[in-house]
Structure 1
Amino acid sequence: MIRFKLGEMIEKKQFAEGRRVTINEIATATGLNRMTLSKILNSKGYGTGTETIDKLCQYFNCRVEDLMEHLPENVG
């Protein structure tokens, strides 16, 4: 399963800039739909396209692996 680390990225940006960062702000800055961002943030296992990932990496000035990680699923 892919896990997005959007919450962690928002927290890092808030700490670095000393201010609150909202989903609406990210949506406006990236052109992404607020609902898409909310699903990435709150829905376990949510899938999205590479264009969305690219826009978020640009916004947070980060690499893909800073934004998401692969978690192995329990087999058995």
Structure 2
Amino acid sequence: MIRFKLGEMIEKKQFLEGRRVTINEIATATGLNRMTLSKLLNQKGYGTGTDTMDRLCGYFACRIEDLMEHVSDGAS
């Protein structure tokens, strides 16, 4: 399963910039739908496209592995 680390990236940005970062701010800056961001944050197993991840990498100035990771589901 792929686990998105959007919440961790938001917390890191808030710490580094010393201010609150909202989903609405990210949605506006990236052109992504607020609901898509909310699902990435809250819905286990949510799937999204490469364009979404590309925009988030641009916003957070990070690499793709900073935003997502593979987590074994235990069936392997």
TM-score, structure 1 length as denominator? Answer: 0.98
CA-atom RMSD in angstroms: 0.9
Query: What is the alpha-carbon distance in structure 2 between the residues aligned to residue 46 and residue 36 of structure 1?
Result: 9
Consecutive unaligned residues of structure 1, counting only runs of 5 or more, are none
- Per-residue displacement from partner, 1:9-53 (whole Å, max 9, x unpaired)? 000000000000000000000000000000000000100000000
Number of equivalences: 76
What is the percentage of aligned positions where both structures have the same residue? 80
Q: Secondary structure at the match of 1:3?
A: strand
For structure 2, the residue ranges without an aligned partner over 5 or more in a row are: none
Runs of 4+ in 1 over 6 A off after TM superposition: none
The yes-or-no answer on 1:48 pairing with 2:48 is yes
